[in-house]
Each structure stands twice: as C-alpha cells, then as structure tokens.
Amino acid sequence: MSGAVNITGAAGADGIAGADGIAGAEGIAGIAGIAGVVARMLLLLFLVSVLTFVLIVNAPIDPLISYIGAESTLSPAAREDIARHWGLSDPLPERYLRWVGNIAQGDFGMSITYKRPVIQVIRERFTYSLALMALAWAFSGLLGYAAGIWAGLRKGGLFDRAIKLFCLVLQSAPTFWLGLLILSVFSVWLGWFPIGMAAPAGKLAAEVTLSDRIHHLILPVCTLTVVSAGKMVLFTRQKLIEIMDSDYILFARARGESEGQLVFRHILRNTALPAVTLQFSSFSELFGGMALAETVFSYPGIGTATAAAALNGDAPLLLGIAGISALFVFSGNLTANILYSVVDPRLREEKSYV
Amino acid sequence: MRDMMSAGMRGVSVVTDGGSARPDGGSDQTGGMSAGMRDGKAPGGENGGPLLTARELSVEFSLYRKGLSQTRLTAVRSLSLDARRGEILAVIGSSGAGKSLLAGAILGILPANALVKGELLYNGEVLTPASQRQYRGTEIVLIPQSVDYLDPLMRAGKQVAGARGDKKGQREAFKRYGLDPRAERMFPFQLSGGMARRMLIAAAVITKPQLIVADEPTAGLDGELALETLRHFRQLADGGAAILLITHDIDLALAAADRIAVFYAGTVVEIAPAADFRQGKAALRHPYSKALIDALPGNAFTPITGTQPPPDHLPPGCLFADRCAGRRPACDGEIAPRALRGGEVKCLYAT
C-alpha cells in the first residue's frame, strides 16, 4: 500500500515537474516581459489543471465510495443524491469549467478526504512542507556546494572518490528507500528520533513546543537534504574542474596566485552563480523528494495530502495542490532567471562604452 | 662595467643592430633613444647581459593510452636560448610547435604530467619550482593572448592589480597605458580589443617585472593595435626588462625584435639578429630559417615540403633532416648548437 502511495505521489510531482520547461524564460525586463511571465504562468496553470483533472477523473477510484466507505449501507437513491449534489454525473468539460468559475471567485471547493475547505488544508499542510523544504533546500545547497568545491579541488583524491560514489549511489537510490533506511537506523534501531508525524502523538496542539517540531523535522530534513545534495555536489565539482582548466585560471597561476587565492578570488565567484541558479531551478525535484520523504515519515505536509487526495479521488484537493505546486516550481525557475540577470554582469551591464 | 660589456661582445653588437635597423619610423625614434639610454645608464652594465638562459631544455608529457601503456611525448627538446636585459627576443615557429610550452616551463605552470629536463637559469640562479613560485607574478610575468585570460566576473581594476599589486599601482598602470579610470569598474566582456590588450600589459607590468614572457600578444589585433602593443614592449625593454616574444607571426617578429629564435619541432634551430632576417635568406644559417623566409608572401611564397615531425615520433638526430635538401648521414647523429656569424645554429653544415 505504501508503495502505491509513493508511486502516485511521485507521478503527480513529476508530472508537475515536467511542465517547468514552460517557465524556462529568457531575461525578464519591462512591462512586456512581466506580461509574458504572467501569460506563461496562466498557461502553465491551465495545462496542469486540465491534466490533473483528466487523470483524477479517469483514475479507477470512485470518489463516492471513498467518501462513504466501501461497506456503507447507504441506499442507491441516497448515493445518487450525493453524486448529483457533487455533480459527478455531469459532462467533464462542464465540471471543469464550473471548477474554474469557482476558483475565479476564490472558492477552491471542499476536500472529500479531509471534509474541510481545500484552501484551509493546503494552507495548513503547506506550512509544514515549507519548513521541511526550506531547510533541506538550504542545507543541500550549502553542503552540496562545499563538498563539490572540496572534491573538485582534490580531484582524484580519497574524498573526491568517496563523495562521487556516494552521490552516484544516491542519484540512483529511490528517495523512499533512503528514507526507510534512515528511519530504521535512527528511529527504530538507535531510537534517537520519533518514527514519524510532526509532533508527539497524543499531545495537544497547544502544548507542542518548537523543540518537539524540530525533533520531528530532523530525519525528514536529513533525508531530503541528502537526496537533493547529490546533484549539487556533482554539478559544482564538474564546474570547478572546468574552471580549473580555463585560461583565466592559468593566467592567475602565472601571476603567482596560490591555490587559496585562486579559490577565493576566482573559483567561488565563478561557481556560485551557476550553483545558485541550479538550486532555484531544482524546486521540482525538491517537491517530488518532499512528497516521498513525507510519506515515509508520515509527516503531515502537502506530500502526504497529495497521496491521500490521489487515493481518494479527491479532485478539488488534488487540483488545488497541483496548482500550488506548479506555482511553486514556476516561481523557482523564475527566480533563477531573474537572479541570473541580476547577478551576472554579462547579462546585467551594458556591453561597452567604447 | 666596460669589461662586462665587451665580454658579452655578441650582445653589444646585437643591441646596436636592433637599435638602428628597426623598420617602422615610430619605433626608430624610441630605438635610437633606447640605445642612448642603454649606454648611458645601464645599471651595472646589466643591459644586454643574459637574464634568462635555457640550456638543453626539454618538456615531456607522459600520456596513458589504452589501459596502462604509457607514451612519452617530447614537446620541447634540447632547447637552448638566452633572453637579455633591454632586448626583445622573438621566438617564432608555426602553430603546434610547442612554443607556449616554453612559456609554461619558464613560469612553472605546466600541467602535472609534464616533465621538465635541462636547466633554466634566471639571473645566474637555477630556477626551481620554489623560486618559480616566488618570481612568477612579480619578477617573471606572462602577457597572455587574449581577454579570455581575464576572469569574466572580476572587474578590470581589481584584475589588473592582481593578488600581488595594489590600487595605487593599478591606477598608475592605467594612466601609463592611457586607460580611462572608468574602465576600472568594467568587466572583461565590456572591454574593446585595444583596451583589453592594454589591460593585459598593465597587469603584467604592475610589479615591475624583469622578464616578460608574451605569448602571441598580438593575436587577433589589427595593424595599428599590434604596432601600439609592440611600442609598449619596446618601452619595457628600454626600461631594462628582458622580453621573450612568442609568436607565429614573422612580420611581427621582424618589426619588433632585436634577435629572433626560430623554433621548429620543439627546439630552437637558429638564433640570429633580427637584421639578418630582414636582409633575407642569404644572411640566415639554418635551412629551415631560409625556407621560412622563402615561404613569406612577399618573397618566393614557396611552401616547405613535408610536415613537422609529431612530438611522439621525433627523429633521433636533426629534427629537420626529413625535409632538408642538404641532408647527409651525419645528420642522424646528435646535433649541438654552435656559434656562427654572430648567431647560433643547430646544423652541422650551415655556413
């Protein structure tokens, strides 16, 4: 069962990730640029919502059964009443357009799974997920970058070979498998961390302390960090090796710069820019990894909600989540683009006055 | 002081040669001036004396091919030359002859799989990796080919100052080479070709270097800018520095250099006063130098038959033997450089 959940979660996240090509944009400037960005974003949201809608409607899950339960004694007439109330038997385009109309009025509908307004569920869940993703994003970026620099500088050394092997293994290891491994070692075997959830079971919400939350966050954050860092390590390492071969490093050497000076004067600057861009454009992977990590650790974030919504045929919630995650990934890519044109002088400044 | 000058007899005569016979009018003036300067205030008679001497220098690379079989590639072989204070020595040769490796060997910045044999003397002292580390960027500097040798993300001012210079020196260097102070804040991609060139020279001279190795410093420059660059080199030489100008451009070498070393298949086959080259092939010594002059568009324009031997298949004796019309059996043996008519040649039968 858990496997099925994972797969659904991953498929959902990857489907969304696939759309990020649309967000890949050239430099953004002026009103025309902003209008273009907004148009692309709306197009992305439209496509993602249509795709999600088609998928969930055609999934072999009857939202009615998952609502009332398979063992329900409800009469067929009553079932039909509910189906009519929900509009389940209406033609698909009509249902979709009605949903769009409601969205336009700010109504995201009710979640069948949680029996609460979708917007509320997403807001609550996203807060949890955001904490998880933000920490893992920052750690994986910083640690991955540092490890990549170190490995590249000592290319062929013990650390380099070890970290390269580690990253390649990680790249091919499924996130949920790594999560289970970490869970069984640190929670089950060593007992250092709770098995799951975001707070101790049986504790009132008001009594949950910050340290409780941090304690519960550590393992999911570690899992997601380790999973996300691999790409950064390999990328930074590769970039550094490339730069080390460049003419300007040769010239810097010829001018008597020591290795430390090479690193601090040239290498950090020239590798940091592409690394930051990579980290922003990796929001889609981050989101996918988050969904899997949350499922393994039963962390009540947007990832577990996605899995639950998909398994229950919860169209409103799934559509809402798909939209939010698409926006999330889109904003990451947009930030990467803007950042590049702001930070890189070759894109920011005029060619020459001569 | 006089004694030293006469001891370096050849050196003195060459200096005079270079001073008077320079072709373009602009440099002629500086040339005349510089000759006066040399005679007048050469510190301790050092101008004209050798600053850098390469003796039997070789650069080999070990390459791994197919599994563990290792190949030795001899890119530079038994190369001997000397660069003197106050003088521009041009090293000319076709592309792929390994000229840039000479620069790498002098500065000690060859890749790790390079093996340098032979001797490099700087100011009479053997250059070791440690002393190269100490001198490069201060006394021994490189002027690279193009703006690609500048960090694309570092502003020009900081870049010219380098790790070993300061703001004050950078400002002076900017002024000296007519660079707009505003250009300090520019990135390399914003520099025009001429500005970039002046930046590279400014970066090199900021530490008051003794030996300047310029590797194809006029590549991609049009006539006026190339001449300007050469004028800068002449000024630096007049200031007492030794300049090693590595180039594939014979015309450039003729216009700029005091002496010319002809580089072929990793070695120097002839070193002669630039005046000899200007006179034509009769004044030259080595068959390859003569062929090189013949191949010039302004002369016979006849190409040399055959190709340069590749560095992994160097013949045992004379490297030019395969293409030489005057080849004799002894050419397959060891050939040592010998002095001839005020120059130096690596040929048994040159006259």
Rounded to two decimals, the ipTM of the complex is: 0.79
Q: Chains A and B: how many Cβ contacts under 8 Å?
A: 81
Which amino acid is located at A52 in the chain? T
pLDDT band at residue B120 using 50, 70 and 90 as cut-offs: very high
Residue A246 forms part of a structural domain = yes
Determine the pLDDT at residue A28.
Answer: 52
CB contact under 8 A, A255 and B162: yes
Interchain contact, B142 vs A256, CB within 8 Å: no
- What percent of chain A has pLDDT above 70? 90
Dihedral, CA of residue B346, residue B288, residue B227 and residue B244, to nearest 10: -20
For A256, which of B148, B150, B163 is closest by C-beta distance?
A: B163
Contacts of B117 (CB under 8 A, 6+ apart): B56, B57, B58, B59, B60
Contact B195 A354 (CB under 8 A): yes
How close A249 comes to chain B (CA, Å)? 8
Question: In chain B, which residues have their Cβ closer than 8 Å to the Cβ of A255?
Answer: 136-137, 141-142, 162-164, 203
- Whether pLDDT at B324 is above 90: no
- Cβ contact (<8 Å) for A255 and B164? yes
Rg (C-alpha) for chain B, rounded Å, is 20
CB contact under 8 A, B189 and A351: yes
Instruction: Sort out which chain B residues have CB atoms less than 8 A from A258's CB and list them.
Output: 163
Q: Does A71 touch chain B (CB under 8 A)?
A: no
CATH number, domain of A338, equals 1.10.3720.10
Nearest CB to A256 within list B133, B149, B190: B133
**Banded model confidence at residue A19, pLDDT cuts 50, 70, 90:** very low
Mean pLDDT to the nearest integer, B243-250: 90
Domain that holds residue A178: 2-348
Segment (H or E) for B159: helix B156-161
Q: What are the two backbone dihedrals, phi and then psi, of residue A344, each rounded to the nearest 5 degrees?
A: -80, 115
Tokens found for residue B220: 């991609």
For chain B, the first-to-last Cα distance in angstroms comes to: 33
Residue A248 falls inside a structural domain: yes
Per residue in A115-152, is it b (16+ CB within 10 Å) or e — as a string?
eebbbebbeebbebbebbbebbbebbbebbbebbbbbb
How would you classify the pairing of strands B50-65 and B114-122? Answer: antiparallel
- Whether residue B2 has pLDDT greater than 70: no
Tell which residue, A136, A137, A114, A135, has the closest CA to residue A124.
A114
Q: What is the pLDDT of residues B104-114, one digit of tens each?
A: 999 999 988 88
Distance CA B242, CA B50 (A): 8
Distance (Å) of CA B26 to CA B198, B201, B236: 18, 20, 15
Residues of B whose CB is below 8 A from A271: none
Q: Give the tens place of pLDDT for each residue, B274-311.
A: 999 888 888 888 888 888 888 887 777 777 777 888 87
Name the 3-class secondary structure at A118.
Answer: helix
Supply the pLDDT for residue B309.
84
Q: Nearest to residue B254, comparing CAs of B225, B288, B292?
A: B292
Closest by alpha carbon to A38, among A50, A25, A19?
A: A25
Q: Does A346 touch chain B (CB under 8 A)?
A: yes
Least confident piece of the model among A18-22, A67-71, A183-187, A338-342: A18-22
Is it the case that residue B97 has pLDDT exceeding 70? no
| CB proximity B142 to A under 8 Å | yes
What string of H, E and C letters represents the secondary structure of A267-327? HHHHHHHHHHHHHHCCHHHHHHHHHHHHHHCCCCCHHHHHHHHHHCCCHHHHHHHHHHHHH
Largest CA distance in chain B: 64
Torsion angle of alpha carbons A265, A268, A269, A275, nearest 10°?
170
What is the identity of the amino acid at A214?
Answer: I
Reported as a single tens digit per residue, the pLDDT across A68-94 is: 777 777 888 888 888 888 777 778 888
pLDDT digits (tens, 9 = 90+) for A30-62: 777 788 888 999 999 999 999 988 888 888 877
Asked if the structure places residue A133 within a domain, the reply is yes
Nearest CB to B144 within list A251, A346, A353: A251
Residue among A269, A237, A230, A275 nearest A154 (CA): A237
B9 — contact with chain A (CB < 8 Å)?
no
Beta bridge pairs of residue B60: B74, B115
Question: Choosing among B101, B131, B149, B186, which should be mutated to test the A contact, i.e. which has the most A CBs within 10 A?
Answer: B149
Question: What's the token pair of residue A95?
Answer: 């249902």
Stated as kind and residue range, the H or E segment containing B40 is helix B25-41
Contact criterion met (CB below 8 Å) for B107 and B213: yes
User: How far is A290 from A132, CA to CA, in rounded Å?
Assistant: 8
Residue A80 lies in a domain: yes
Inform me whether the C-beta atom of residue A106 falls under 8 Å from chain B C-beta atoms. Answer: no
Q: Which DSSP letter does residue B210 get?
A: S
> Which residue blocks in chain A are alpha helix, DSSP H?
2-18, 30-58, 63-68, 76-86, 92-104, 118-153, 158-172, 175-182, 210-244, 247-254, 259-262, 268-280, 283-296, 302-311, 315-343, 345-348
When pLDDT is cut at 50, 70 and 90, the band that residue A164 belongs to is very high
Instruction: Compare CB distances from B163 to A261, A269, A351 and report the shortest one's residue.
Output: A261
DSSP string, A203-224: --GGG--HHHHHHHHHHHHHHH
C-beta of residue B321 within 8 angstroms of C-beta of residue B327: yes
B149·A251 Cβ contact <8 A: yes
Distance, in angstroms, between B166 CA and closest chain A CA? Answer: 14
Spatial distance between the Cα atoms of B251 and B247, rounded to a whole number of angstroms: 10
Residue B29 has pLDDT above 70, yes or no: no
Task: Give the pLDDT confidence score for residue B35 in this predicted structure.
Answer: 38
Handedness of CA A271, A277, A278, A279 (dihedral sign): positive
Of B342, B337, B308, B343, the C-alpha closest to B57 is B337
pLDDT for res B127: 92
Q: Is B129 on the interface with A (CB under 8 A)?
A: no
Distance from CA of B310 to the nearest CA of A (A): 24
**How many Å lie between the alpha carbon of A267 and the closest alpha carbon of chain B?**
9
Which residues on B lie below 8 Å from A253 (Cβ)?
109, 136
Question: Is residue B129 classed as helix, strand or coil in its secondary structure?
Answer: helix
* CA atoms within 13 A of residue A237's CA, in its CB half-sphere: 25
Chain B: nearest CA to A147, how far in angstroms? 23
Q: Which residue has the higher pLDDT, B204 or B44?
A: B204
- How many whole angstroms separate alpha carbon B81 and alpha carbon B273? 13
- Assess whether pLDDT exceeds 60 at residue B192: yes
A125 touches chain B (CB under 8 A): no
Report which secondary-structure segment, H or E, holds B238.
helix B223-238
Q: Determine the residue of chain A that is closest to B186 in CA distance.
A: A352
Of A254, A346, A350, the CB nearest to B136: A254
Is residue A266 a contact partner of residue B188, using CB atoms and an 8 Å limit? no
Task: Centre a 10 Å sphere on the Cβ of residue A234 and count the other Cβ atoms it contains.
Answer: 21
Report the C-alpha gap between B227 and B231 in whole angstroms: 6
- Please check whether residue A168 lies inside any domain of the structure: yes
Residues paired with residue B268 on neighbouring β-strands, in sequence order: B263
Confidence of residue A2 (pLDDT cuts 50, 70, 90): very low
A236-256 confidence digits (pLDDT tens): 999 999 999 999 999 999 998
Query: Measured between CB atoms, does A215 come within 8 Å of chain B?
Result: no
Q: How far is CA A139 from CA A133, A135, A172, A218, A324, in A?
A: 10, 6, 21, 12, 23
Whats the size of chain A, residue-wise? Answer: 354
Is A64 among the domain residues?
Answer: yes
Q: Which residues of A touch B154 (CB under 8 A)?
A: 265-266, 269
* Residue of B140, B153, B189, B211 to mutate, interface with A, max A Cβ within 10 Å: B153
Choose the closest CB to A253 out of B109, B138, B164.
B109
| Distance from C-alpha of B131 to C-alpha of B125, rounded to nearest angstrom | 9
Pick from A251, A266, A347 the residue to mutate for testing the B interface (most B CBs within 10 Å): A251
The pair of structure tokens assigned to B245 is: 């100008």
Q: How many CB atoms lie within 10 A of CB A285?
A: 17
> How many domains does one find in chain A?
1
A354 within a domain of the structure (yes/no): no
CB contact under 8 A, A256 and B148: no
Contact of A268 with chain B, judged by CB distance below 8 Å, is answered with: no
C-alpha Rg value of chain A to the nearest Å: 24
Question: Is A248 within 8 Å of B148 when comparing Cβ atoms?
Answer: yes
| CB nearest A248 (choices: B137, B151, B192) | B151
Residue A342 placed within a domain: yes
Q: Domains along chain B?
A: 2-61+72-139+209-268 (3.40.50.300)
